Structure 1
Amino acid sequence: MRLDELAEVGPFFALRTGRTDGTGRTGRTGEGGLPLLHEETVRRRITVVGERLGTDDTRVAASIAFQGIAGRLLSIGLGSAVLTGGVPDLATGGLRWEPSRTAPDDLWLPTPVALPGEHLGSTVLHGLLVPLHDHVRALTPISSPLLWGNAGSSLAGSLRVLRSWLLSRHRPEDAARAIALTRVLFADPLLRDTGELSATRTDTTFIRRTCCLYYRVPGGGMCGDCVLRHPPRHSARHSARR
């Protein structure tokens, strides 16, 4: 399965592939990493994200960590479905991850196996994000609707980037396919109530129904798709105490 074009869309769409040379390193760059769907791997990622954000609030770190991983997986899934017509078997294909790295060197799939494009939801949403959601909630007392709202926000962001890239290369049919596939994912019960997606000929917008808690990060501010119009009053006091 050829996924080279994915990296051209952007770093979140990139996926390292190929077997290692026997030392744990691939023929390209980076190490083989750890199994993505492992509680200790997720714990390490939450710690890394908290340190990078400068917050000791584990709910905030867990939320942003989940959103970042969801964005990577959804971008790869949506991008490959549109550009190749298939989806790499991310759920059972031995996907590896290095939680201290950033895109595009964080994810590695040794031998990509193509599944039909209609497996996008079962592979990414149900095969990966459901167990990831469960691991995060086992480690941190965080709202399930919040996490799925993060996934919806990530999916809308993936569509926005992919659609813009396709239109810049005069591929309107593929852009329309990206919108159609995204709408199918948003029809899934996991994402159905996460927000309102609007995709017109000129723009893609999404307003979510939950907040990812990014406003609690020192200097974080508000996200563009946030359900809140202003940060809660207590957040300013909390930041001042820090």
Structure 2
Amino acid sequence: MDLDPELTALAPLGAFFVLPTGAAATTSLPTLADTYAHRTSDVYGDPLDFRVRKVADALHAPEPRVAASIAQQGLAARLWSVALGSAVLYGRIPDLEPGLLCWDPDGSAPDDLRLTELRPLPGDAAQLADTVLHGHLEPLAAALHARFRVAPGLLWGNAGSALAGAARQLHRWARPHGRTDAAARTRALTVRLFAHPLLAGSGTLTGTEFRRRSCCLYYRVPGGGLCGDCCFTRPPGPSAHGASG
């Protein structure tokens, strides 16, 4: 199936899978290419710093790296959802080149991204890895590690967790709609992606369940707890705070 201009097949999957397209109302927004390159915006200054501060303020995060981890996981979930959902339902994916994606660092996921131009690409696992892992999550991880001291292992755990979450949502949608083909394609693509060197050490995928080998640090947010795929079975004590990545 060809990609339609509004990517309408993704709408029933949930808000994280929806990606508005077209250049309207994006002139004041930075692109993700700007964000990864540390280029400042007239409106937001440094977009990544702005987003991390916004998340920190909203969650009362005790330190910037906690907010940086949570912000990164939200963006990873958006990118994986759009890419994997498109690959499963269309057999193709939109080109998510960072320069084509406008990002509103003051918007909350999933309402923070807009694709300015629709360019179809193959929907195989190699293209998914090139588009999401290499095109986005590698430069994003490098920026967050350099600026906020977030451990690389933690960030790749977030990436794996976000991919597994997108795959689970696709499975949940496929079963009641009789789309065994979509469920099978989701599983095949996800298994191949988790074999990629950047994700292979992030955790263990068993069916649709994922157990990561790192912690996203959400338990450190006031009132926060452990995520369903956390490596911990109970929140660690203060002595483990420096080793959670």
Structure 1-normalised TM-score?
Answer: 0.88
- 2:73/2:162 contact within 8 Å kept: yes
Per-residue deviation, 1:111: 1.1
3-state SS in 2 of match to 1:206: strand
- 2:31/2:101 contact within 8 Å kept: yes
Quick check: 1:9 aligned with 2:5?
no
Q: 2:235 maps to what in 1? A: 231
Note the alpha carbon deviations across 1:20-55, whole angstroms, 9 max, x for none: 2xxxx27xxxx7622123132211111111111112
3-state SS in 2 of match to 1:151: helix
Per-residue deviation, 1:186: 0.4
Gaps of 5+ in 1: 236-242
Gaps of 5+ in 2: 39-45, 240-245
Amino acid at match of 1:107: L
Match of 1:189 among 171, 188, 197: 197
Amino acid at match of 2:212: R
Quick check: 1:143 aligned with 2:151?
yes
- 2:32/2:103 contact within 8 Å kept: yes
Amino acid at match of 1:19: A
Quick check: 1:117 aligned with 2:123?
yes
- 2:101/2:114 contact within 8 Å kept: yes
User: What CA distance in whole angstroms lies between the structure 2 residues aligned with 1:32 and 1:6?
Assistant: 27
Match of 2:212 among 208, 215, 219: 208
Q: 1:238 maps to what in 2? A: none
User: What CA distance in whole angstroms lies between the structure 2 residues aligned with 1:208 and 1:135?
Assistant: 22
Per-residue deviation, 1:143: 0.5
Per-residue deviation, 1:92: 5.0
Note the alpha carbon deviations across 1:119-169, whole angstroms, 9 max, x for none: 111011111111111111121111001000000011101100111111121
Q: 1:239 maps to what in 2? A: none
Amino acid at match of 1:10: G
Q: 2:90 maps to what in 1? A: 84
Q: Among the aligned pairs, what percent are the same residue?
A: 50
- 1:15/1:107 contact within 8 Å kept: yes
User: What CA distance in whole angstroms lies between the structure 1 residues aligned with 2:58 and 2:11?
Assistant: 25
Quick check: 1:36 aligned with 2:44?
no
User: What CA distance in whole angstroms lies between the structure 2 residues aligned with 1:211 and 1:92?
Assistant: 27
- Equivalenced residues, count: 225
User: What CA distance in whole angstroms lies between the structure 2 residues aligned with 1:124 and 1:86?
Assistant: 14
Note the alpha carbon deviations across 1:36-89, whole angstroms, 9 max, x for none: 231322111111111111124111001111111001001111000011111111
Quick check: 1:73 aligned with 2:73?
no
Quick check: 1:162 aligned with 2:158?
no
User: What CA distance in whole angstroms lies between the structure 2 residues aligned with 1:103 and 1:61?
Assistant: 14
RMSD: 1.8
User: What CA distance in whole angstroms lies between the structure 2 residues aligned with 1:75 and 1:159?
Assistant: 8
User: What CA distance in whole angstroms lies between the structure 1 residues aligned with 2:215 and 2:172?
Assistant: 26
User: What CA distance in whole angstroms lies between the structure 2 residues aligned with 1:190 and 1:180?
Assistant: 18
User: What CA distance in whole angstroms lies between the structure 1 residues aligned with 2:231 and 2:216?
Assistant: 9
User: What CA distance in whole angstroms lies between the structure 2 residues aligned with 1:109 and 1:15?
Assistant: 7
- 1:32/1:98 contact within 8 Å kept: no
User: What CA distance in whole angstroms lies between the structure 2 residues aligned with 1:165 and 1:93?
Assistant: 31
Amino acid at match of 2:237: R
3-state SS in 1 of match to 2:175: helix
